Amino acid sequence: MADLQTLDLLGRAIPFSDEGQGPAVVLVSGAGQGVEYFAPLAHSLVEEDFRVVLIDSRRDSDPNAQELAGEVVGVLDHLGVADAWVGGHGFGGSVARFVAHDHHDRANGVLLLGVEGSAGTEVAGSSAPVPEGLPVLVVQGSDDDVTPPANGEELLSAAPGLVSIVTVDGGGHLFPHTHVGATAWAIEDYLDWD
């Protein structure tokens, strides 16, 4: 993994890493995870000529996905990244959905690694939106009991023309870390890069 850096943005220290060359993929960590969680997945994507930016969503207080979306854009500004595929795991995916919705011109599409259910996306009175007109790839573990496949199916029903689903067989909630090859392949295949 690339060296962990910190961006001071409005008094908030935001940990992130940046490595690779090529089309940018931004991954926001889920609740209780740091950027290190995505290190094996990032390495695999960098090997396939992607630039991968990992951003830590952990906070000392209750996180607000919409506010964190602004921080993600702040990191992109700092790095000079004009646009990217934005994604995350669980709560990090909800942050990515707000990035794509509130900063539509910065997102090429959304990569959701497990989808929070409608109750899990309630943040400060609003739920994480499906970004209008942008493609969404859902990669989900078949055995995930925290962000179960039914959540991805619900999102597909809400936006059938925009949402695609790939299920990682045997993957539990930590499938982006335990099933790195299958997760990376789903992203690479969907982005049609290799």
pLDDT given for residue 60 in this prediction: 56
Going from the N-terminus, what domains does the chain have, and what CATH number goes with each? 5-191 (3.40.50.1820)
* pTM metric for this prediction: 0.90
CB 22 within 8 A of CB 84: no
pLDDT digits (tens, 9 = 90+) for 10-63: 788 889 999 999 999 999 998 778 888 999 999 999 999 999 999 987 665 566
pLDDT given for residue 66 in this prediction: 86
pLDDT digits (tens, 9 = 90+) for 144-159: 999 999 999 999 998 8
